[in-house]
Amino acid sequence: MTNVTIGFIGYGNMAQGLVQGLIASGTVKPEQIFACAAHYDKLLKNTADSGVQPMKTSLDVVHHSDIIVLAVKPNLIETVVSPIKKELKKKVVVSVAVNYPFDRYEEILEAGTHHISTIPNTPVAVREGILVCENKHSLTEEEKELFIHIFSPVALLEWVDTKQLSIAGTLSGCTPAFTAIYMEALADAAVKHGLPRGSAYRLAAQVLSGTGKLYLSTGEHPGQLKDAVCSPGGTTIKGVASLEKDGFRGCVIGAIDAIEG
């Protein structure tokens, strides 16, 4: 890993989050990471504290990097790829663009380019993210092992079929916003009943983090985790009943439907 270099074409919030997580994991050093963006002055500011190497052009990034992360908006992918696709053929290309699967890249990349499509979420910045990975890719076994070695320290790698890429990306990529709203609502309720704001946010955040880790550790059905807290006639089941009466589950499902619909 001391010799592997990673280049980011596009350096928005998601790219910066990935870089932050990668550096924190110790898998790569800042000087092994190169980046370019549409606005060079802004790029200089965004890379100043991290030690990431700012480049003026995408071609510069490609020349310095073994692995290329395409981190621009989906509608810009073809425009960005077109002038550098010959050079990309010699690299490992990792896409983090939403709704841009393998077959779509096959139409715009040079034949024989080794690439994989993924969808990350923002908690990669603190090494607690998700990276949804399309099962269909053109990486060699050695390249796939390298990919896993680099990104597994910052995210749960979830491999899905192409037809599942959209919903898996929605579930992992959009719901941090929903979860933040839920966390804020929990804290608001606690503040309403006298708990200081800082304590309320910390407690709510830890509950969300801890419950998720409890599931990942035990594999128990979420219903079992709920039942373990709901004593007969107790306080928790009263709160659960209130959520059900107000259509909590339906609202959550409806939010996903609104995105996927």
Average pLDDT score, the chain: 97
- Give the strand order in the sheet containing 92-95: 53-54, 33-36, 6-9, 67-70, 92-95, 114-120, 129-134, 155-160
Angle at the Cα of 93 from the Cα atoms of 24 and 113, rounded to 5 degrees? 160
Under CATH, what is the fold of the domain 175-260?
Answer: ProC C-terminal domain-like fold (1.10.3730)
Pick the CATH number of 6-162 from 3.40.1640.10, 2.60.40.10, 3.40.50.300, 3.40.50.720: 3.40.50.720
- pLDDT tens by residue, 122-165: 999 999 999 999 999 999 999 999 999 999 999 999 999 999 99
Structure tokens at 120: 């990350």
**Per-residue pLDDT, 43:** 97
**Per-residue pLDDT, 219:** 97
Specify the DSSP element, H or E, that contains 95: strand 92-95
pTM for the predicted model, two decimal places: 0.93
- pLDDT tens by residue, 84-112: 999 999 999 999 999 899 999 999 999 99
**Per-residue pLDDT, 261:** 87
Domain extents in the chain: 6-162, 175-260
**Per-residue pLDDT, 86:** 97
Specify the DSSP element, H or E, that contains 53: strand 53-54
Residue type, 7: G
| DSSP code at position 110 | P
- pLDDT tens by residue, 177-230: 999 999 999 999 999 999 999 999 999 999 999 999 999 999 999 999 999 999
Specify whether the CB–CB gap between 127 and 102 falls below 8 A.
no
- pLDDT tens by residue, 157-187: 999 999 999 999 999 999 999 999 999 999 9
Cβ atoms within 10 Å of 165's Cβ, excluding its own: 23
